[in-house]
Structure 1
Amino acid sequence: MHPATPIDLTTWPRREHFAHYRRAVPCSYSMTVQLDATAFADFLSRSARKTYIAQIWAIASIVNRHDEFRMCLTESGAPAIWPVVHPAFTVFNPQRETFSCVWAEYNADFGAFHEAAAALLAEHSSAAEFFPQGELPANAFDVSSLPWASFTGFTLDIRDAWDHLAPIFTLGRYVRRGDQVELPLAVQIHHAAADGFHTARLVSELQELLAHPHWIDQ
């Protein structure tokens, strides 16, 4: 794992914002959106690729475009940027009615990522441990799925998580409205890492990726 690169605070435009939301008013915020997944769902219906893995990769690919979503803290508490972050995601065990958390290395090649993630989901579908692979890497971020229900709002109340700068994503069940398929997505963000502008850009770029899903079979 390559080390995170400390941010140069003398030139960083968000230096004051980071300090404010880390110390003076530490806070996170959540944003729930309904993504238009019509083309995405249609393409997957004609593909052998798995929907959940495609959703995870789409999120991870956008997260890895932007420094603000790859942030962490050094041992001294200074902000730093990972060169790459990897998705950690849930796999449900229906017999136990519990889930496990696994992770896969991010790969810009969706086909290679899909192969690795599919093997992980198959291997750990009956896992009893919360973390069957052991401790997650420091440069992991969380994606979870709630495929049994749709939602228009979703908030995680995380106690004393002011050092957790990585974004957290929650996916819901598809909703069909006429000819359109909507995918609920909740995004939890530490305000010290990113402002509303950055999260809106992430959502917009993710929407663009879902609208042009030909990458699924590449």
Structure 2
Amino acid sequence: MTELNTQATPIDQATWARREYFYYFTKMMPTGFTLNVDIDITATKAWLTKHDRKFNPAYLYLVTKLITKHPEFRVGQVDGQLVEYDVLHPSYSIFHGDDLSISSLWTAYDPSFEQFYQNYLADQATYGDHHTPMPKAPQSANTYPI
């Protein structure tokens, strides 16, 4: 199992190149954003089938890997201090077919697909049947909803 990376570097807002945008979009015009992209998953799906792998953990891994490459997506706050996290971990919903409820679960990101895949399977085995809103307690603020 991957050790949870919660490392964050403080951002000096006095010299941060994005400070004016941060101020504008958090104080003058508070907003959030959602990103939707159409992608062709044909080759990915074929690879997953060939290697007997599930789609959802691969999807979570690929999106998290991409987000991790962009510091702009890894900004957060720790005790009021603006920080840039080293990495984000995906937080996702799982569906319980027997009672039609959902739970929010997260999995520690690892740059190795195989390790992340095993982390995901371990989380599913440990928490997948727990019918509560958050069966796995959050351990860090550096998760993102997907």
Same fold (TM over 0.5): yes
Q: CA deviation at 1:115?
A: 0.9
For 1:70 and 1:33, how far apart are their aligned partners in 2?
A: 19
Q: Which moved more, 1:25-34 or 1:90-99?
A: 25-34
Residue correspondence of structure 1 range 19-168 to structure 2 within 5 A: 19-76=23-80, 78-143=81-146
Match of 1:200 in 2: none
Structure 1 segments unaligned to the other structure (5+ residues)? 144-218
1:121 counterpart SS class: helix
Q: Contact 2:89–2:108 at 8 Å: present in 1 too? A: yes
2:34 counterpart SS class: strand
For 1:109 and 1:142, how far apart are their aligned partners in 2?
A: 21
For 1:81 and 1:34, how far apart are their aligned partners in 2?
A: 28
Counterparts in 2 of 1:2 and 1:122: CA distance versus 1, 3 Å: closer
Aligned CA-pair RMSD: 1.7
Identity over the aligned pairs, expressed in percent?
Answer: 27
So what's the TM-score if we normalise by structure 2? Answer: 0.87
For 2:139 and 2:133, how far apart are their aligned partners in 1?
A: 11
Counterparts in 2 of 1:53 and 1:3: CA distance versus 1, 3 Å: closer
Q: CA deviation at 1:123?
A: 3.0
Q: CA deviation at 1:3?
A: 4.6
Structure 2 segments unaligned to the other structure (5+ residues)? none
1:54 counterpart SS class: helix
The one-letter code sitting in structure 2 at the alignment partner of 1:115 is Q
1:31 counterpart SS class: coil
Residue-by-residue CA offset, 1:126-146 (whole Å, 9 max, x unaligned): 211111112352111112xxx
Q: CA deviation at 1:10?
A: 3.2
Q: Which moved more, 1:1-10 or 1:11-20?
A: 1-10
1:59 counterpart SS class: helix
Q: CA deviation at 1:2?
A: 4.2
Q: Contact 1:102–1:133 at 8 Å: present in 2 too? A: yes
So what's the TM-score if we normalise by structure 1? Answer: 0.60
Picking from 8, 12, 19, the partner of 2:16 is 12
Counterparts in 2 of 1:2 and 1:46: CA distance versus 1, 3 Å: closer
Q: CA deviation at 1:13?
A: 1.6
Q: CA deviation at 1:11?
A: 2.8
